Amino acid sequence: MSDPDDKARFTALYDAHYGRVHAYAVSRAGQQVAEEVAGETFLIAWRRMRDLPDEPLPWLFGIARNVLRDSYRARDRRAALEKELRTWASGEPAAGDVGESVVERAEVLRALASLSGDDRELLTLIAWHGLSSGQAARVVGCSKAAFFVRLHRARRRLEQALAAGPSAPGDRAVPVAVLTKGREAAR
């Protein structure tokens, strides 16, 4: 959208309504998130300037509401993942999941849960989600070479976490196989 009229129209929209959209976001989510919500709202409005109705404020509030809803969903997904990882790390099997009682799997999950979210993402994109290294690099927004470096470091940290685990050294046959499988998938 490089039309000067669209730029002027957007500037007028922003100047007229930013304060109200920001206040709406503050009333719904607090000051801490309001800047991000208001910014995302106006980014979407910029992309959709051609859809701008005659009365833009309700439309902007609708966009802000959707941005907040998406933010809440993402927060809930993160919380559910963290809860699941804590459950796995505790070694307690989840109800109805017989596989959780397998010691080797619990060890891998415990070690995986001890890693940073970035390391977990790199490892699971390759080993569990079956992406190629090029695809995984696009997901995390880096070059393939940078991805290999990050993946290598994440694997080392996982191996260290496994070595520091509660089991005897001979009990790590499955985790090593999981790591090997991940290395093959990354090629």
Q: Within a domain: residue 172?
A: yes
Half-sphere CA count of 42, side-chain side, radius 13 A: 21
Three-state DSSP class for residue 92 = coil
Assess whether 52 and 108 both reside in one domain.
no
State how many domains the chain has: 2
Contact 175, 163 (CB under 8 A): no
Q: pLDDT at position 164, please? A: 84
Q: What is the pLDDT along the chain (187 residues), one digit of tens a residue?
A: 457 788 899 999 999 999 999 999 998 888 989 999 999 999 999 999 988 888 999 899 999 999 999 988 888 888 888 887 777 666 555 555 555 456 677 788 888 888 898 898 888 888 878 788 888 888 888 999 999 999 999 999 998 988 887 644 444 444 444 443 444 444 4
**Is residue 178 located within the same domain as residue 115?**
yes
- Using CA atoms, how far apart are residues 109 and 177, in angstroms rounded to an integer? 14
CATH of the domain at 166: 1.10.10.10
Residues 141 and 110 in one domain: yes
pLDDT in tens, 13-60: 999 999 999 999 998 888 989 999 999 999 999 999 988 888 999 899
CATH code, 12: 1.10.1740
From 134, 184, 125, select the one nearest 154 (Cα to Cα).
Answer: 125
Predicted pLDDT at 2: 59
The answer to whether residues 73 and 109 belong to one domain is no
Rg, the chain, Cα only:
23
Q: Report yes or no on 27 lying in a domain.
A: yes
DSSP conformational letter for 171: G
Which domain-ending residue is among 78, 112, 140? Answer: 78
Whether the pTM exceeds 0.85: the reply is no
Residue 91 gets the label, from left (phi > 0), alpha (psi -120 to 50) or beta, of left
Q: Is residue 44 part of a domain?
A: yes
CB 148 within 8 A of CB 133: yes
pLDDT of residue 17: 95
Give the domain extent around 136: 101-186
Report the alpha-carbon distance of residue 38 to residue 30 in Å, rounded: 12
Q: Is residue 154 part of a domain?
A: yes
